[in-house]
C-alpha cells in the first residue's frame, strides 16, 4: 500500500510541474478608472492615491518589467503580485498627452498589467497615425495597491482537505 501511495504522490508531483513556456495574458484590457497630472513629488502621488482610497503597497521602475506586445497599442507586463488595482506614471515630453498618472482596475489576468497606450489620450484627440514616441518606454513607475485577500471559501476548502488527509492517514496507520 505504501508503494502505491508513493507512486501516486510522484505522479501528482510530476503532473503539476509548470510548463516553461511564456504565458501571454488573454482577455480584456485593464480599465483606466482615474488619471491626474501631478508634479514630481511623492507626496502629491500619495495624496492622490489616498484620495482614491488606495495605498501604494509596492512600487517599482517601469524598466524592471518585461513588456509583451499583444497587438497594436496593447501591451502587457507581469506584475510581482496580483493587485486589484495598479497605477502607472509616465513621461509626457514631446506628446499631446495631458496626464501623467493613470489608475487602472486590474481585470481578468490579475498578475498582469494589460494596457492600451491609446487610453493615455484622455480629453485630447488620439493621433490618426500613432506616434512612435508614445510607447511602454514612457512608463517610469508602476505601483500596486489593494492586494487581494483569499476568499473564505478557498480557506474552508483547504481546511477540509487537510482534515480529510489527516483522517485518511489515521485510517492507514491502523
pLDDT digits (tens, 9 = 90+) for 63-83: 777 888 888 888 888 887 788
Nearest to 71 by CA among 118, 133, 122, 16: 118
In the block, which residue shows the cell 514631446? 94
Q: Which comes out higher in pLDDT, residue 148 or 43?
A: 43
Could you tell me which residues come within 8 angstroms of residue 67 by beta carbon, excluding any fewer than 6 positions away? 75, 76, 77, 136
Specify whether the CB–CB gap between 81 and 147 falls below 8 A: yes
Confidence (pLDDT) at 35: 92
pLDDT at 148 over 60: no
- DSSP designation for 28: P
pLDDT at 151 over 70: no
3-state SS class at 58: strand
At residue 23 the predicted structure's pLDDT band, cuts being 50, 70 and 90, is low
pLDDT digits (tens, 9 = 90+) for 69-118: 888 888 888 887 788 888 888 888 788 888 888 888 888 888 888 888 88
Specify whether the CB–CB gap between 2 and 89 falls below 8 A: no
Q: Is 13 left (phi over 0), alpha (psi -120 to 50) or beta?
A: alpha
pLDDT at 147 over 50: no
* C-alpha angle 91-94-98 in degrees, rounded to nearest 5: 60
At residue 16 the predicted structure's pLDDT band, cuts being 50, 70 and 90, is low
User: Which pTM does this prediction carry?
Assistant: 0.65
**Low-confidence winner among 2-6, 13-17, 146-150 (lowest mean pLDDT):** 146-150
Could you tell me which residues come within 8 angstroms of residue 99 by beta carbon, excluding any fewer than 6 positions away? 35, 36, 37, 120, 122
Measured in whole angstroms, the distance separating CA 155 from the mean position of its chain's CA atoms is 22
Amino acid at each position: 500500500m505504501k508503494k502505491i501511495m508513493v507512486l501516486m504522490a510522484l505522479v501528482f508531483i510530476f503532473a503539476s510541474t509548470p510548463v516553461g513556456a511564456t504565458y501571454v495574458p488573454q482577455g480584456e484590457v485593464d480599465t483606466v478608472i482615474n488619471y491626474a497630472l501631478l508634479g514630481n513629488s511623492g507626496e502629491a502621488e500619495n495624496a492622490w492615491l489616498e484620495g482614491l482610497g488606495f495605498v501604494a503597497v509596492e512600487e517599482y521602475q517601469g524598466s524592471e518589467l518585461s513588456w509583451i506586445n499583444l497587438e497594436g497599442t496593447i501591451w502587457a507586463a507581469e506584475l510581482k503580485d496580483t493587485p486589484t488595482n495598479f497605477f502607472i506614471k509616465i513621461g509626457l515630453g514631446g506628446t499631446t498627452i495631458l496626464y501623467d498618472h493613470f489608475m487602472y482596475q486590474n481585470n481578468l489576468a490579475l498578475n498582469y498589467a494589460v494596457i492600451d497606450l491609446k487610453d493615455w489620450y484622455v480629453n485630447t484627440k488620439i493621433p490618426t497615425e500613432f506616434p512612435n514616441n508614445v510607447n511602454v518606454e514612457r512608463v517610469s513607475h508602476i505601483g500596486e495597491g489593494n492586494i487581494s485577500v483569499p476568499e473564505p471559501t478557498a480557506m474552508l476548502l483547504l481546511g477540509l482537505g487537510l482534515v480529510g488527509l489527516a483522517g485518511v492517514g489515521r485510517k492507514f496507520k491502523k
